[in-house]
């Protein structure tokens, strides 16, 4: 249970961090601009933006620990996704001089970093989808209808949101929604795994 509480606390602190970072960035629109802009080259909120993304990645590692008793395969997928999220924070924080300086000194570096950032985001989502499908299978096999129904709904939402359905003019909102969807998958699964483990312990104790 401790890992679950720690992971959820990390998720909440991530949202607090990027919310505060957004207030430090004049002209930033959470609806139109993605979270990574807060950690981008020359961002006035880069330190807090990068720190929040790194915290999110670390919280995914803890979530992997919490889901391990329920599904080792899903936990591995979550850990791999966490690694890509850490990479997103590292890449976006790799050019602190600002976009103007980077563009003058080495414009290709800016292009390469942005490309790598996009690749890491895509792989993060790919492994989170793999974890979600795995957790859905685990829930179905265990006969946990509530867990399975919630995971199935979140899986559908993740697929639609990451595909950009209906949010062409508001990519920032779309990103926040699919990231929230991913985190809810982990929260639901961690709580379900804890409940399952608790039931087994009580059964073993003869309660």
Q: Return per-residue pLDDT of the chain as tens, 207 residues.
A: 899 999 999 999 999 999 999 998 888 889 888 888 888 777 788 889 999 999 999 999 999 999 999 999 999 999 999 999 999 988 865 444 444 434 444 445 555 677 788 889 999 999 999 999 999 999 999 999 999 999 999 999 988 887 766 677 788 898 899 999 999 999 999 999 988 654 454 344 343
Q: Is 13 exposed, middle or buried (0-12, 13-18, 19+ CB in 10 A)?
A: middle
Instruction: Write down the pLDDT at residue 194.
Output: 87
- Against a cut of 0.75, is the pTM above it? yes
- Asked if 199 contacts 58 with a C-beta cutoff of 8 angstroms, the reply is no
Q: How far is CA 37 from the centre of its chain?
A: 16
- Asked if 50 contacts 93 with a C-beta cutoff of 8 angstroms, the reply is yes
Q: How far is CA 85 from the centre of its chain?
A: 7
Helices (H), 142-170: 145-162
**87-129 residue pLDDT tens:** 998 886 544 444 443 444 444 555 567 778 888 999 999 999 9
Q: d(Cα 131, Cα 200) in Å, to the nearest integer?
A: 23
Cα separations in angstroms, 17 against 21, 58, 87, 94: 6, 14, 18, 19
Closest C-alpha among 6, 138, 157 to residue 77 = 138
């Amino acid at each position: 249970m401790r890992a679950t509480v720690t992971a959820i606390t990390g998720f909440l602190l991530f949202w607090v961090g990027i919310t505060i970072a957004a207030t430090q960035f004049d002209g930033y629109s959470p609806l139109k601009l993605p979270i990574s802009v807060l950690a981008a080259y020359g961002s006035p909120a880069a330190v807090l933006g990068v720190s929040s993304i790194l915290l999110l990645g670390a919280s995914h590692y803890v979530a992997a620990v919490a889901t391990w008793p329920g599904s080792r395969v899903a936990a591995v997928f979550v850990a791999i996704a966490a690694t890509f999220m850490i990479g997103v924070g590292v890449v976006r924080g790799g050019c602190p001089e600002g976009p103007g300086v980077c563009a003058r000194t080495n414009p290709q570096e800016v292009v390469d970093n942005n490309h790598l950032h996009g690749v890491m985001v895509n792989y993060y989502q790919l492994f989170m989808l793999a974890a979600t499908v795995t957790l859905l299978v685990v829930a179905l096999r265990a006969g946990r209808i509530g867990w399975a129904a919630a995971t199935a709904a979140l899986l559908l939402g993740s697929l639609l949101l990451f595909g950009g359905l209906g949010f062409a003019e508001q990519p920032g909102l779309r990103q926040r929604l699919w990231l929230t969807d991913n985190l809810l998958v982990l929260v639901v699964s961690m709580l379900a795994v804890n409940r399952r483990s608790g039931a087994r312990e009580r059964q073993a104790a003869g309660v």
